[in-house]
Amino acid sequence: MLDWDLIRSFLAVAENGTLALAAEKLDVSQPTIGRHIDGLEAELGLTLFSRGRHGMTPTEAGLSLIDDARDMRRGADHIALRAAGKAENVGGTVRITASEVVATFILPPIIAGFAQAEPDIEIELAPSNTVENLLSRDADIAIRMVRPDQNDVIARKVNDMGIGVYMHRELARRDGVPKSPDALLAHRVIGMDRSDLIIGSMTRLGFKAQRNDFTIRTDHQITYVELVKSGVGIGFIAQFIAKKCPELIRILPEIQIPSLPLWLASHRELRTSRRIRRTMDYLYEALRALPLDE
């Protein structure tokens, strides 16, 4: 019988390319991953990877095993989900993933209230802008700004996050305020680096913006907010964040930026878990009550 830990490490290396990335993915040490690969190769009598300076590449033998290994992972994930869903004990850990903005500016006071209401439930908060895979238990609950389209995932829309155009008061005093949407790009506007989120949104609003129209760029959401708050340039940020920053003023309210929907999601199997259910219900009520789109 093959040890599942060996198969899991094999898949992590095959999918991530290096021992270091595989170890980070599985939250184990790099030497442990290396021992697992060596052990699996010895047990099978096969060389599964070619080792090189830039990482590990599956050999022909390794490639032939990947699909079967993924089938084993799906089976293991399904068993874990079903077992977690049947758990009657309220105490334990719930892992929540949310975007950087939501995790930083919205969830902390909600989690503080939840900790008082449910002291036996431990919360792991994973800020991430990637769409975590709820099917493989990367997280128990996800809060996202796009509706998850995975099978067996239940999602409920809980709110809408309003977005506006803002600039620092001192920047407005020094450079003036653009008087019309057409004048916006004549000012310094903060853009994104590799993401096309802002350019795409501006295009849909009728602006012909290009990457080099933004002399300051970052893809990190929290850094983006701090740049706007520091007066670096004009930016597009959530209204509820700007309301907490007296140094910011809203400009060009006639630019109607579509609100971002907020979705609360979990795997269907976990809905029978009392721990997950209580956490989901608390989050739903708390997020729904927030004035995010005013």
Per-residue pLDDT at 210? 86
What's the rounded Cα separation, in Å, for the pair 83 and 98?
Answer: 24
CA-based nearest residue to 77, from 29, 11, 123: 11
What's the rounded Cα separation, in Å, for the pair 180 and 253?
Answer: 10
Query: If DSSP codes are grouped into helix, strand and coil, which group holds residue 201?
Result: helix
Per-residue pLDDT at 128? 84
Rounded average pLDDT over 151-178? 92
Q: Which domains does the chain have, with CATH numbers?
A: 4-86 (1.10.10.10), 92-158+260-288 (3.40.190.10), 163-251 (3.40.190.10)
Q: Are 37 and 26 in contact (CB under 8 A)?
A: no
Other beta carbons less than 10 A from residue 282's beta carbon: 17
The β-bridge partners of 143 are: 98, 264
* pLDDT interval class at 284 (50, 70, 90): very high
Name the phi and psi angles at 263, rounded to 5: -115, 140
Could you tell me whether strands 141-144 and 153-161 are parallel, antiparallel, or unpaired per DSSP bridges? unpaired
Q: Is the pLDDT of residue 220 over 80?
A: yes
**In sequence order, what are the residues at sequence separation of 6 or more whose Cβ sits closer than 8 angstroms to the Cβ of residue 263?**
142, 143, 144, 145, 146, 147, 148, 155, 156, 157, 158
Q: What is the dihedral angle through the alpha carbons of 11, 14, 16, 21, rounded to the nearest 10 degrees?
A: 70
288 or 205: which carries more pLDDT confidence? Answer: 288
Tens digits of residue pLDDT in 71-125: 888 777 766 666 655 555 678 899 999 999 999 999 999 999 999 999 999 999 9
What's the rounded Cα separation, in Å, for the pair 196 and 235?
Answer: 15
What's the rounded Cα separation, in Å, for the pair 156 and 36?
Answer: 40
Q: Is the pLDDT of residue 251 over 90?
A: yes
Per-residue pLDDT at 111? 97
Return the amino acid letter for 10. Answer: F
Per-residue pLDDT at 143? 93
Tens digits of residue pLDDT in 46-84: 899 988 777 889 999 889 989 888 888 877 776 666 665
